[in-house]
Amino acid sequence: MVFALIHTMKISPIYLSFLLILPYNSQTTFAAEEEKVRFAELDAYWAEVSRAVREGDFEGYKATCHEKGVLVSGMKNTSYPLSKALARWEKEFAATRAGEIKAKVEFRFSQRLMDETTAHETGIFLYSFTDSKGLWKKEYINFQAMLLKGKDGWKIMMEYQKSKATKEEWDSLAVKGQKRLR
């Protein structure tokens, strides 16, 4: 059939190939642009989490969580509603907001999978905080996050704090060119 078109319409094979590839190329370009937008949205999500921790903004942090979210701790072999973790963390947010302690969290990713409304992020987060003497402490945690996008943006549905990580593992993600978010 294509051969008949070439002869009947006197279309060169090169031109025909271009016409057949053009729609595919447009779809690929569109998909790449959509992915860039999703990465930007998720980067903004993690930046908001970091801001809320740094400023002690409990309500801001809570707004990044799905109301039915789950926290899984591989280190404690447990799973429970994220709302229980939020209740436990609220006093640390208040202490940060009051200037009694300082806290911050940064993220580096080894894998980022997503579509229009779901995301699965794998990496390490670095939670840094000051102790009662004002000395900085650091906790490197291997984590996975499942997020859902609704009309009010991305929300974490499941946070899996898998295991402790090392500074070397943290640094290796930077060497691999993975994005660092704070």
Q: What is the pLDDT of residues 75-105, one digit of tens each?
A: 999 999 999 999 999 999 999 999 999 999 9
Query: What's the pLDDT score for residue 17?
Result: 53
Residue range 132-177, pLDDT digits in tens: 888 999 999 999 999 999 999 999 999 999 999 999 999 999 876 5
Residue range 31-56, pLDDT digits in tens: 678 888 999 999 999 999 999 999 99
Query: What's the pLDDT score for residue 30?
Result: 55
From edge to edge, which strands make up the β-sheet containing 103-114?
78-81, 65-73, 153-164, 136-150, 118-130, 103-114, 180-181
Whether the predicted model's global pTM rises above the 0.75 cut: yes
| Residues in contact with 140: Cβ distance below 8 Å, sequence separation at least 6, in sequence order | 124, 125, 126, 164, 165, 166, 167, 169, 170
Tokens encoding 37: 């937008």
Domains and CATH numbers, the chain: 2-181 (3.10.450.50)
Q: What percentage of the chain carries pLDDT values higher than 70?
A: 79
| Average pLDDT along the chain | 87
